[in-house]
Amino acid sequence: MNNALNISSSPHVRDKRTTAYMMRVVLLALMPATVVGVCNYGLHALLVVLVSVAAAVLSEFAFDKLCHKPDTWKDGSAAVTGLLLALCLSPRVPLTMPLLGSMFAILIAKCCFGGLGKNFINPALAGRCFLLISFGNMMSSYRVVDGVTAATPVADLLVGNPVNVTRMFLGTTSGVIGSSALALLAGGLALWALQIIHGEICFSVLGTFILTIGLFGGQGFDPRFILAHISGGGVLMAAFFMATDYVTSPATPLGQLVYGLLIGSLGGIFRLFSGTADSFSYCVITGNLFVPLIDTYIVSKPYAYRKVSLLKQLRASGEPWYKRVPRPVIVLTAIAAIAGLALSGVYFMTKDTIDNQKRAAQAASYKAVCPLADHFEANETIDKAVADLNGAVYGTDFGRAHINEGFAALDEGGNNVGYALSVTSADGFDGNVTLAVGVDNEGAVTGISFTELNETPGMGMRVDEAEFKDQFVGKAVSKFTLNKAGGSTADDEIDSVSGASTTSGAVVNAVNAALDFYNNTVKGGA
Amino acid sequence: MVKHTFRGGVHPDGHKELSREVPLREFLPAGEMVFPLSQHIGKPAKPIVKKGDAVLVGQRIAEADGYVSAHIASSCSGVVKAVEKRLTLTGAMADCIVVENDGQFTCAEGFGEREEQASLSNDEILRRIQDAGVVGLGGAGFPTHVKLKPKDPAAIRYVIANGAECEPYLTCNDQLMRVKANEIVEGLELVLQLFPNAEGVIGIEDNKPVAIAAMKQAAHGKPRLRVMELQTKYPQGGERSLIQVIAGVDFPISMLPADVGCIVDNVGTLYAIQRAVLYREPLFSQCFTLTGEAAKNPGNFIVRDGTSFAELLEFAGGLKDGIALKKALVGGPMMGIALGSLDVPIQKQNNGLTLMIEDPVELAEAQMTACLRCGRCAKVCPVGLLPEPMADAAINKDYERYEKKLYGLECIQCGSCTYNCPAKRPLMQIFKEAKSEIQARKRAEAGGTK
């Protein structure tokens, strides 16, 4: 009997919670967001989730087998990565996206750096950013539940359009699969209450983000504005599920606060000044990169060596306060401040250049659509009408078309030879389609030219080919109609680019809006 | 009411119901008794008997060798059979005095009669404690007379009676406090006599309501004493945790409790002090819990030093039928020592034997993953250390960072981090190895400079 006794170092009991348990809890906390996403966006969203999770787990399994590593796929961490990635994808992406993204996340970002506990950036975010950079078009196309293509609420927020916060909470807006703020909040708070994630991280990220948005967002601390910003663009996902990833966050509470501050403030700055809605992933990754530095410098002392609290230290007389703040805090704050200043500096320095280039491109396209014009002149009637529209959707028959601006076209002798109008349709397959439309004094289209077009190459992008554009030229009709079948003969019929009826429709709507504007405002008012 | 407690700590399953309500029974062993010469922290005692000598119960058989050392008394009457190396509970062979027990338990003269406290000077109290060979019965076995002689007795603010018994499974202190409350209070008052400015605080975890009631009653009407209910949480009974709660002080490992004005004694030790001072009775027996899922009749016992664990188990009814013993722990599962063989002698400072049918460590090894950096280890560390970076530094042999930056040597080896680790990493073992490696390097350096 005695020979069989086990010998080991104390302690001889262990808590029931294992790595697999922790991962299961995180998976459960993500379930509300997943279920809401699938209900809102349908079967394809479910397929994206399943492919992503399966690809992540299988990648890890394959890596373990090929490299003769212990079976780590069983611990559930790969499944968490796969699910997190899926929830950050648009429900419209082709299934190759979750497949490639998960493979990159697990094989490159995680396994190649030593597997669980060794990766230096969050694998799910690495996968997402890999996809964002490599397949920008496919990644940033979103669709709302009722089947209409739309910009995400944050994109609307950034250009100043009103957004529906209630729908953002429920996740029924256009966006990623895991876009229900309510579901994410519920899961995140549950994880915090169960002490699975550190409150120091999630609340400092959210707090600093709110502060930055409130201070620099231009609308102060208006609750609806703040709430709209928090509810969209993956802020809650990042704060509760991404930034709190154990492996890529600091070990000490103070370090976690610094890390949260960094991510939150970067998130706010990126959100307001980068002009894209997807920037939070990059902020968290930037935060990840600071973790080794933070962990090297910020090490908490045992209780016996902590003399007094930081607050008391600051209040105590004697040395000036800045000498008693730990040096790493100063260094890191300085780095964050310099990085922030540099970013905003670059933005403001390049802003004019970018605007000038845009204007030059705009001018060139006006020339292109009014072949007879020598120069352009502002027109009071047009400017007034555009100002009256105040950025609202133009008319009722043209989808979501906006009239941006318009000029009178003059020949060398200063005689009016027509007008050039800039129109945007928000109904493109991948967001906005903006084009210049030239109209002569008889109301005939003299040409169209695209100034903003982000459609699918080989499909929607083909509206920029002469074959499609030339169909409008020389025709004086009050309204064009789209012929999806092709082979049009009538003047007012436009053949759709095959396989790209959405984009073609947006262009036709935009041109119709321009014609309507010309007939009712320019001509009627002139 | 807000329960008093320290920062950090864990809540392992208590399993105290196995033996909690079983009253103390005395066990008189038969046959051979083995007395290791090192049953305390410090230098091993020197034998003062030789083979063939007759000894009586309570007779001193080994003498303290130096200041930090303690006398050892025989717990039986009989004849010295040998002074030789025997297997002890650490798994190593150590010098022992072996006595053939005659089963009569004839007592030596000079103890057993109660004397009155009023006539005793402080020096006399300390001398009697030293004569009796009293050591800390909480597990460490530090010679009590050394502990009770700090540099400045007037600076001691608290004498803490440790009745927390935070270690899972163990219940002997609970039982002792129930039946010997007045004796423990007397022992505490004797110690308080040595420290004129100190308050006596009896700290008990709130999972022992009967013991709390008994101690409160015994301490009733004594102005220098109070009973403090503590939250049930491991390691509440650690010396430093108790001082943190009662005196509100955290102090580095290089300092002793007396340096911050505290003296901590286990309730078992206080009972032994009472016996030693008022009855001149040497320490040769103590209360002891035999428990665990594998034991047929878990219970609490008064055992004599030198008894073999196996013999006690047999007396207690042996193992449950049809059950294989997987692991035997001297003490409880958090800080206990795993026995390789039950056929080793019980020592003064032992207070329990936990017999397990499962080995959670074996299971943990199967579930082990890489570190998640979840921070659950740091959250429960009662010292405020960062076990995760410590383990990293120790594994990379960066002992400079381990010691200087991470304060790794402050670890009190309570095992809370290891208990709480979801990745099931053997953190404590890593820290123990790092500590002995650092100490070995320091010794080598000291040797090299000579």
Q: How many CB pairs under 8 A join A and B?
A: 165
| Residues of chain A contacting B10 with CB distance shorter than 8 Å | 15
Q: What is the pLDDT of residues A68-109, one digit of tens each?
A: 888 888 889 999 999 999 999 988 889 999 999 999 999 999
pLDDT at position A97: 93
Q: Looking at residue A217, which CATH number applies to its domain? A: 1.10.3430
- What is the span of the domain harbouring residue A44? 19-300
User: Does residue B356 belong to the interface with chain A, where contact is any CB pair within 8 Å?
Assistant: yes
pTM of the predicted model over 0.80: no
Same domain, A293 and A390: no
pLDDT, averaged across chain B: 91
A352 located within any domain: no
A429 located within any domain: yes
Instruction: Identify the domain boundary among A300, A321, A338.
Output: A300
- Give the nearest chain B residue to A22 (CA atoms): B422
pLDDT band for A52, please (50, 70, 90 cuts): very high
Tally of domains within chain A = 2
B residues 401..420 contacting A (CB < 8 A)? 405-407, 410, 413, 415, 418-420
| Residues of chain A contacting B324 with CB distance shorter than 8 Å | 1, 4
A residues 9..68 contacting B (CB < 8 A)? 9-15, 17-22
Q: Cα–Cα distance between A83 and A158 in angstroms, integer?
A: 28
- Among A368-372, B67-71, B299-303, the range scoring the smallest mean pLDDT is A368-372
User: Does residue B392 belong to the interface with chain A, where contact is any CB pair within 8 Å?
Assistant: no
Same domain, A264 and A390: no
Q: What is the pLDDT of residues A101-119, one digit of tens each?
A: 999 999 999 999 988 888 9
Q: What is the pLDDT of residues B294-312, one digit of tens each?
A: 999 999 999 999 999 999 9
pLDDT at position A150: 54
Contact A117 B10 (CB under 8 A): no
A91 located within any domain: yes
- Which residue in A5, A7, A9, A12 has the most chain B C-beta atoms within 10 A of its own C-beta, making it the best mutation to test that interface? A12
A204 located within any domain: yes
pLDDT band for A148, please (50, 70, 90 cuts): very low
B residues 67..126 contacting A (CB < 8 A)? 91
- Among A7-21, A453-467, B215-229, the range scoring the smallest mean pLDDT is A453-467
B residues 302..331 contacting A (CB < 8 A)? 324-329
A346 located within any domain: no
pLDDT at position A316: 44
pLDDT band for A145, please (50, 70, 90 cuts): very low
Same domain, A376 and A249: no
Q: What is the pLDDT of residues B212-247, one digit of tens each?
A: 999 999 999 999 999 999 999 999 999 999 998 898
- Give the nearest chain B residue to A114 (CA atoms): B370
Q: What is the pLDDT of residues B16-61, one digit of tens each?
A: 999 999 999 999 998 899 999 998 888 999 999 999 999 999 999 9
User: Does residue A249 belong to the interface with chain B, where contact is any CB pair within 8 Å?
Assistant: yes
Same domain, A401 and A293: no
Same domain, A142 and A231: yes
pLDDT, averaged across chain A: 84
Same domain, A287 and A377: no
Q: Does residue A317 surpass a pLDDT of 70?
A: no
User: Does residue A245 belong to the interface with chain B, where contact is any CB pair within 8 Å?
Assistant: no
A1 located within any domain: no
Q: Does residue B84 surpass a pLDDT of 50?
A: yes
pLDDT at position A149: 47
Q: Does residue B450 surpass a pLDDT of 70?
A: no
Q: Does residue A351 surpass a pLDDT of 80?
A: no
Same domain, A295 and A385: no
Same domain, A245 and A158: yes
pLDDT at position A327: 67
Q: Which of A5, A252, A300 sits opposite B328 (nearest CB)?
A: A5
pLDDT at position A313: 46
Residues A266-278, mean pLDDT to the nearest whole number: 81
Instruction: Identify the domain boundary among A246, A278, A300.
Output: A300
Same domain, A32 and A176: yes
| Residues of chain B contacting A75 with CB distance shorter than 8 Å | 369
Same domain, A124 and A231: yes
Q: Please, what are the domains in chain B?
A: 16-20+112-279 (3.40.50.11540), 363-449 (no CATH)
Same domain, A202 and A73: yes
| Residues of chain B contacting A4 with CB distance shorter than 8 Å | 324-326
| Residues of chain A contacting B359 with CB distance shorter than 8 Å | 6, 8, 12
Share of chain B above pLDDT 70, in %: 98
Residues A485-493, mean pLDDT to the nearest whole number: 82
A519 located within any domain: yes
Q: Does residue B3 surpass a pLDDT of 70?
A: no
- Give the nearest chain B residue to A197 (CA atoms): B374
pLDDT at position A227: 85
| Residues of chain B contacting A1 with CB distance shorter than 8 Å | 324-325
pLDDT band for A328, please (50, 70, 90 cuts): low
| Residues of chain A contacting B340 with CB distance shorter than 8 Å | 2, 5, 7
pLDDT at position A40: 86
Same domain, A168 and A266: yes
- Å between A468 CA and nearest CA of chain B: 57
Contact A9 B324 (CB under 8 A): no
pLDDT band for B194, please (50, 70, 90 cuts): very high
Instruction: Identify the domain boundary among A257, A284, A300.
Output: A300
A315 located within any domain: no
